[in-house]
Structure 1
């Protein structure tokens, strides 16, 4: 009798477990499906590229949708360049397994909905090249796994939220070509893993923060077309193993000398400092940058002789030195190896 009761209760437990599992799994899948259909229905222009977004087919086969192999939950949504028009609906925040969201190169308007703060697994958000507006969402700082943020080429305004500096995993920060203003936050220098920083085409003012050009992981920094002033920080590439390849700071109001430490940036391929108010001489140390392909220093207040060491730059393709007060002739070595001498910015 006891054996019978034990078997009965065990069977009942298993049945309840299976029933509970099925009731939990189905709504999760259904939630993803409903979230995507709500996204499609919110569009003011319904393109043919989303024609297979239908209840008749699995969401994992829908155009632009990727699912995880285990739970069949949506892990990536990529509708870049689909000519979509409308606003980003809050329903996207229900895709709780989402790791990558790419809605770039469309015609989305309005703000980024706060419901996206529920996407705790999100590693990449790319909403660049739209017509989104509003302030940069402070809740981005609560997404602890974020690695890549692309909000470039929109009309975001205001300042970079301080909460964002809580995200220690960030590799890419791209806020280029918006309407952001204020100072460039000094906390950016604390991003120990940051590889790419793009703040071009905004209204940032003030000096470049100390340490921002000395992030050991930094490869590209682009802050052209702002109103930055003050001197270029002299700690550029002071770390032991600098990875910096591109420094793009032209069309600002930078003052002072070009830091001699720039010669420590052994991986540098491009230096763009055109159209500032830099003064003094060209550092001799720049002649040691064997990988340099672009040296653009036109439209500044540079003086003195052009260092003969510039002739050692055998990979140089673009050289801009016009509209300064420099003197001296190019070395013969420089004339031999320059494949594309260009005196424009």
Structure 2
């Protein structure tokens, strides 16, 4: 008998010896998913009456697929979606969650999960949607996210992730939304991200990212609509390749260290609706190519280092509603065509070097709600009641409403019949929590009633600041004093408890 024959006999023997063991093994199934979910439940501190405590149990006669927050796929009957947002959950993510091998969607937004993301989550290769915004996760963002070929949305906003953004993220060729705002990321933005053909939204505001944006990018983000890079430490010039982002609607680069002129290529962004370049160290004038931005409604260039005239083309732009130009070095007089159409709602040009008369045409701005011309050299400031010193307090009131409702006056929900002020006013009558940002206060908070009372007082102050007639608005000094009083009363209530 030759050696080959002996090898085959030996191999067959081993197979037969292990055959019963092979039969006894089971592939992952819905029971595997149930175990993973129960492991997640055990890692969360749940009060006895919480819905997960009573619903996610083996004694529940319902299938795992009928548990709260769970959706199963019709084909394989495995857990495909885990949706547990806004449930007041406090805990960690166990490694067992990586056994949900058919998971497509994971959403645990607005809870209090903490710790690192376990490496076992790298096994969920089918994942398309991953969102853990508004939690307390920390550590470095895992590189294995870059190996998810089907991932379309990655949202880790408002956590405590740190370190650099992995170069591997550039491999996510299906990714449409990358939201990593308000974390502690540092280092430069990987060049690979700017070549992601599928990306529609890049949101990195509120980190410590530094360095220059790459200048040698080709075929830049052809589908990008939103770029949020504000509140970082980015420097260098604004790259001209932005002109290739023809679908861009929002460009937010405020509060960085950008230098040089506003590139003329920005005039190619004809779909742009919002441009935020405030608080940088730019130079030069507002370029004439702004006339091409026919869809622009919001322009923020406060403290941007700009000089020259305020061009009349800004007031010929039919879509422009809010203009913020304070704290630059604009000089000479305002254009006389300051309001050729009645859409302008906000005009803020305080703390410049403007002079001459305030054009009487400003009276044509029937939609104007805020106008701030302070600390210029106008010879007829406030002539004929066209400019009110109560504009500052109006802006202050709107700001307070925006902070505590997380809504802007331009939000889609507001129409000619319902404004932000009217909405807040109705909430004071029908229940202030209806208008409050749900992230600020939760019913299970120890000081819930004191917090609600505090916000109610702030809303009342905001409404006094935004009275329709300037004469009926509270004085700005009195408003600040009252806000301080509200604060002291709130602290006193906390100390009582």
For 2:220 and 2:51, the matched residues in 1 are separated by: 44
**Rg larger for:** 2
Other structure's SS at 1:332 match: coil
Is 1:238–2:224 an aligned residue pair? Answer: no
1:87 and 1:274 map into 2 onto residues whose CA distance is: 39
Q: Could you tell me which residue of structure 1 aligns to residue 151 of structure 2?
A: 146
Residue 68 of structure 2 aligns with which residue?
Answer: 63
> 1:223 is matched with which residue?
229
For 1:323 and 1:24, locate their aligned partners in 2 and report how far apart those are by CA, in whole Å. Answer: 69
Partner SS for 1:76: strand
Tell me the equivalent position of 1:202.
207
Cα deviation for residue 39 of structure 1 reads 0.7
Q: Are 1:176 and 2:190 matched, yes or no? A: no
Counterpart for residue 35 of structure 1: 36
Alignment of 1:320-339 (within 5 A): 320-327=324-331, 328-332=333-337, 334=339, 336-339=341-344
Offset of 1:186 from its aligned partner?
Answer: 1.4
TM-superposed deviation, 1:243: 0.7
SS in 1 for 2:121: helix
C-alpha offsets along residues 208-227 of structure 1, whole Å, 9 cap, x if unaligned? 22349942110001011111
Matched, 1:288 2:289: no
Matches within 5 A, 1:74-153: 74-153=79-158
What is the number of equivalent residue pairs in this alignment? 322
Residue 319 of structure 1, aligned match among 318, 323, 341: 323
Q: Please say if residues 312 and 338 of structure 2, whose CA atoms lie closer than 8 Å, have aligned partners that are also in contact.
A: no
SS at match of 2:227: strand
Displacement of 1:235 after TM fit? 2.0
Give the CA deviation at 1:63: 0.9
Equivalent residue for 1:53? 56
Distance in structure 2 (CA, Å) of the matches to 1:157 and 1:147: 22
1:300 correspondence with 2:300: no
Contact 1:213 1:236 (8 Å CA) reproduced? no
Task: Please give the secondary structure, in 1, of the residue aligned with 2:306.
Answer: strand
- What is the Cα deviation at residue 329 of structure 1? 1.3
Distance in structure 1 (CA, Å) of the matches to 2:335 and 2:130: 47
The structure in which a higher percent of residues are strand is 1
Partners of 2:349 and 2:176 lie apart in 1 by 32
Instruction: Name the TM-score, length of structure 2 as normaliser.
Output: 0.62
CA contact (8 A) 1:104 1:126 kept: yes
Worse-matched range after superposition: 230-239 or 262-271: 230-239
Deviates more, 1:67-76 or 1:111-120: 67-76
1:141 aligns to what SS in structure 2? helix
Question: Residue 149 of structure 1 aligns to a residue in which SS?
Answer: strand
Alpha-carbon distance in 1 for matches of 2:76, 2:140: 35
Q: Distance in 2 between matches of 1:150 and 1:49?
A: 25
Shift of 1:163: 1.8
Residue matched to 1:161: 166
Structure 1 unaligned regions, length at least 5: 1-19
Higher mean displacement: 122-131 or 161-170: 161-170
8 Å CA contact retained: 1:288, 1:309: no
Structure 2: gaps (5+ residues)? 1-22, 351-497
Deviations 1:260-319 (A, max 9, x none): 111111110000111111110101111221111101101021111222221222121210
What's the CA shift string for 1:18-74, capped at 9, x where partnerless?
A: xx8x9857x501001111111111112346131311222211111111111122111
Q: Return the alpha-carbon distance in structure 1 between the equivalents of residues 123 and 37 of structure 2.
A: 16
1:125 and 1:150 in contact (8 A); partners too: yes
For 1:293 and 1:78, the matched residues in 2 are separated by 36
Q: 1:283 to 1:212 in 2, by over 3 A?
A: farther
Preserved contact between residue 169 and residue 193 of structure 2 (Cα < 8 Å): no
Q: CA deviation at 1:332?
A: 1.8
Q: Distance in 1 between matches of 2:184 and 2:338?
A: 45
CA distance in 2, matches of 1:267, 1:229: 25
